[in-house]
């Protein structure tokens, strides 16, 4: 069986309320993420499927050298721009075609993208 794939339009519509929605997975992740992340100081991070940028405050606090944020929803990225740290760039792309050179990322965060 092949699962249906959500289109960017679905996430564009969801973007304005995404951070307000009560998602138990987001709540659990918020409690555990810091414990799960390795040391980020001086590393290049990829936030694949960054959505509205909800992880940017934590990632910034952990002092990476650079953050690449990728999402395929233009509206999610518009909201993420409001949180985008100075040491970051965003890419409007599908997570299967991320426009970055091979071996340029030290740590990948890919949260709630699959499934």
The CATH classification number of 29-109 equals 3.40.50.150
C-alpha dihedral (30, 60, 77, 15), degrees to nearest 10: 30
Specify the pLDDT at position 4: 53
Token reading at 12: 């564009």
Query: What is the Cα gyration radius of the chain?
Result: 14
Specify the pLDDT at position 68: 95
**HSE of 86, CA atoms in CB hemisphere, 13 A:** 1
Do residues 42 and 64 touch, judged by C-beta distance below 8 A?
yes
Specify the pLDDT at position 1: 47
Specify the pLDDT at position 71: 93
Q: Considering the entire predicted model, what is its pTM?
A: 0.83
pLDDT band at 5 (very low <50, low <70, confident <90, very high): low
Mean pLDDT of 23-48: 88
């Amino acid at each position: 069986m092949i699962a249906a794939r959500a289109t960017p339009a679905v996430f564009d519509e969801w973007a304005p309320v995404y951070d307000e929605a009560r998602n138990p997975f987001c709540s659990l992740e918020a409690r555990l993420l810091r414990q799960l992340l390795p040391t980020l100081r001086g590393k290049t991070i990829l936030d694949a499927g960054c959505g509205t940028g909800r992880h940017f405050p934590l990632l910034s606090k952990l002092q990476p050298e650079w953050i690449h944020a990728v999402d395929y929803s233009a509206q999610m990225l518009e909201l993420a721009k409001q949180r985008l740290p100075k040491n970051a760039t965003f890419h409007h792309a599908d997570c299967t075609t991320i426009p970055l050179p091979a071996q340029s990322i030290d740590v990948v965060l890919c949260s709630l993208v699959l499934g």
